[in-house]
Structure 1
Amino acid sequence: MNRWQLLRILLLATTFGGVLLVLLKTILYPPIADSLHNRTSSFVFPAAVPLAGWQSLESKPLNHQTAKSSNFVPGRQYRYIQKGLTLDIEMRYLVDPNADVNTFIKSYTPISSSAKQVLSVLRRREGIGFYSLFVHQQRAYLSACINFRGGSTVTDRQFWQNRNTRDVFSSRFVSWFLGQSPLRNPGCLWAHLSVPLKNYSHEEAYQTLENAWVPWYKWWHPRFPNP
């Protein structure tokens, strides 16, 4: 093999390797399609959502923008009552490459980014997924990201692990191959539940939130927007 043949082989190998790397990057880290953003802005939350054991009081749209974020994010606040205890639930639909609940809290709620209590407790429930619990200014919170496939998540790493394992190895691959949809669904239905502490301990408030979270998750998960 002469020098020119060797150079030609090296050039072909380099070109093939570059194409392969681009293909892998497209599969594992695809750009968020414009269609997903269009679906986000057009998604409408229902005015009423049943919650077992709780009486619905009211619901109202959330401001699409906050002082800390200029992104358009559809959302709705739901309020329930049980034995004199009020439960507030904020729901938002986000398409974000950084699907970290802690970041969402700091961007879309009045909770200060310096609040050390945020995400102080991370729990997982079989058949549901991960969720975070914390206390801030005499309110207890439960926060989690409902995924299109796989259980709920709290961290960005958990979210994209779901996408890389649940979405890639699913029927979405055929739709992606035909150019009909992105390979992974980067949407998140972010649920942010809270109750006042009043005379309750932190753990008692957490138990109340967890009991409400299970039926809430089970109602929303099969109704996840499908791009």
Structure 2
Amino acid sequence: MYFPILRLTFLGTLLILGRAIVAPGLEKATPYTFPEQVALSRSQFIDRTAIVSKSFNPKYWSNLEGYQYNYQGFNVKVHYLRETDGDISTYLDNYGLNNQKVKLNTIDKQGQSGFYRLFEHNQVAYLTACINPRGGSTVNREQFFANRNAHDLKLDRVVPIILGMADPRDARCLWVTVSAPIENQSIDTAHQQLEAAWQEIYAWWFPKFPKV
């Protein structure tokens, strides 16, 4: 009973790997049309602003275009990365914070939606994470590729991959950064508020992750 399943799994894996080797760049991720607004129940939406995160290493990293969604009490920056390893530290090293190089003390945590990273800079609290096309959110390459191994190489994706409708390994990420001024409260309280907002932000963006 198990041998046909094992053979099918083995054959599917070989086909996927073979296609990745023969035509690794057959499909390119389509450009993502960012929504005009993202309504959240916990805060009133104000507006959307186009942003460009400039690379400190233009030889290897191009500038990143994205959008900042402004709400009463906090802001949400979203960048769409098409080929990445999901490593937040690398993003911050290459793009900084608000186009400035910074040194940060960060805390990584895990919640219902996955992993996220907390930090503070100039009296502003931040929460950042990489929303994956499949699997929970991540903050480093180990978590990102664990998601790829767990969710990308599955039998239900064999046919779309062979037909050229999907890539064997979906190395895309929505890099999301939520920020809010600390003002007259502790950093812990500010981060707790961001964590609460993050659950709703993630719940909105994850099911709308752009198709390949």
- Judged with a 3 Å threshold, the aligned counterparts in structure 2 of structure 1 residues 174 and 25 are, in CA distance, closer, same or farther, namely closer
State the alpha-carbon separation in 2 of the partners of residues 172 and 74 from structure 1: 30
- Judged with a 3 Å threshold, the aligned counterparts in structure 2 of structure 1 residues 90 and 34 are, in CA distance, closer, same or farther, namely farther
Q: How many residue pairs were aligned?
A: 194
Gaps of 5+ in 1: 1-22
The aligned counterpart of 2:28 is 36
Q: How does 1:50-61 map to 2 (within 5 A)?
A: 50-61=39-50
- Judged with a 3 Å threshold, the aligned counterparts in structure 2 of structure 1 residues 24 and 98 are, in CA distance, closer, same or farther, namely farther
Tell me if 1:192 matches 2:183: no
* Identity across matched positions, percent: 34
Give the match's secondary structure for 1:221.
helix
- Judged with a 3 Å threshold, the aligned counterparts in structure 2 of structure 1 residues 32 and 79 are, in CA distance, closer, same or farther, namely farther
Give the match's secondary structure for 1:93.
strand
Q: Is the CA contact 1:47–1:60 (under 8 Å) kept in the aligned structure 2?
A: no
Q: Which of 98, 103, 110 is equivalent to 1:115? A: 103
Deviating more after overlay: 203-212 vs 176-185: 176-185
Alpha-carbon offset, residue 95 of structure 1: 1.9
Give the match's secondary structure for 1:220.
helix
Alpha-carbon offset, residue 26 of structure 1: 4.3
Q: Which has the higher contact order (CA 8 A, sep 6+)?
A: 2
Tell me if 1:66 matches 2:54: yes
Q: Which of 35, 43, 63 is equivalent to 1:46? A: 35
Give the match's secondary structure for 2:195.
helix
Q: How does 1:128-207 map to 2 (within 5 A)?
A: 128-207=113-192
State the alpha-carbon separation in 2 of the partners of residues 190 and 67 from structure 1: 15
State the alpha-carbon separation in 1 of the partners of residues 121 and 172 from structure 2: 27
The aligned counterpart of 1:93 is 80
Alpha-carbon offset, residue 25 of structure 1: 10
Alpha-carbon offset, residue 148 of structure 1: 0.7
Alpha-carbon offset, residue 34 of structure 1: 6.2
Gaps of 5+ in 2: 1-13
TM-score by length of 1: 0.77
Q: Which of 190, 201, 209 is equivalent to 1:216? A: 201
Once the two structures are superposed, residues 120-176 of structure 1 have per-residue CA deviations (whole angstroms, 9 ceiling, x without a partner) of 2111112x0000001111111000000111000000110011011111115222211
Give the match's secondary structure for 1:90.
strand
Give the match's secondary structure for 2:177.
strand
State the alpha-carbon separation in 2 of the partners of residues 49 and 109 from structure 1: 25
